[in-house]
Amino acid sequence: MIIIIYPKNSGYLCPVWSFDGLLTAFQIRLDVPYQKRKYVWLSSAKLNKGCSPGSPVSLSGDPDAQRVFVTEGILKAEVTHQRTGETYIGNPGVLNHKELRQMLIQLKGRGLQEVVEANDMDKLMRLACRKDYGTVCRTCSESGTECPKKKEKREQIRKGCLKLYEICEELSLTCRRAVWDVDAEGMWKEQYKGIDDWELRETEDFYGNAAA
């Protein structure tokens, strides 16, 4: 990771690695979020004869691994790979399916057998309205017991997870869900959101039931 010095997009430069280990793009983790966006692509699309990087997924780890973890975020995948040694696919968006599917096809050709869905724990978020979902709560007029913004976010994550399960079923790959920081009812305790946040423990079992 290196630092970009331009004022409006200063932040960490996050490399995107291809299946062949080539550097194909960069995401920038902004020091100061812009219009609620924490990440932007390093792109020349608005310049003369420039181009867009698209939305490629990134492979952090061994392309010959029999097991790969899939999580949302290029930086998140790289950091967790460096921390654990596991092979990770970083998906720039949970609903980004085309590039993810192609990467899984390539990895299967090299011996991939198992995929672990490790998207953020929003997928098991409780929906109770506690006026704790950021500045949006100040203007929210909902009076029900469910937070509409939490519900929208949870459904988006779950939709992405379901699509990953469908792809794995199509490709005859075993797919399991990784969960962490859950209570006795299997719901998120809201202490560790991403798998990169979670302190790995030898006694922790990340695997739920097979998803596909």
Task: Give this prediction's pTM.
Answer: 0.85
Instruction: Tell me the per-residue pLDDT of 113-137, one tens digit each, with 9 for 90 and over.
Output: 999 999 999 999 999 888 776 766 7
How far is residue 155 from each of residues 14, 83, 204, measured CA to CA in Å? 27, 29, 26
Tell me what the pLDDT averaged over the chain comes to.
Answer: 86
Between these two residues, 20 and 6, which has the higher pLDDT value? 20
pLDDT above 70 (res 11): yes
Smallest Cα–Cα separation from 168: which of 91, 93, 107, 104? 104
Q: b or e along 126-149 (b: 16 or more beta carbons within 10 Å of the residue's beta carbon)?
A: ebebeeeeeeeeeeeeeeeeebeb
> Which pLDDT value is given to residue 3?
47
Smallest Cα–Cα separation from 195: which of 59, 90, 97, 55? 90
Instruction: Tell me the per-residue pLDDT of 64-97, one tens digit each, with 9 for 90 and over.
Output: 999 999 999 999 999 999 989 999 999 999 999 9
Report yes or no: 75 and 11 within 8 Å, Cβ to Cβ: no
pLDDT above 90 (res 98): yes
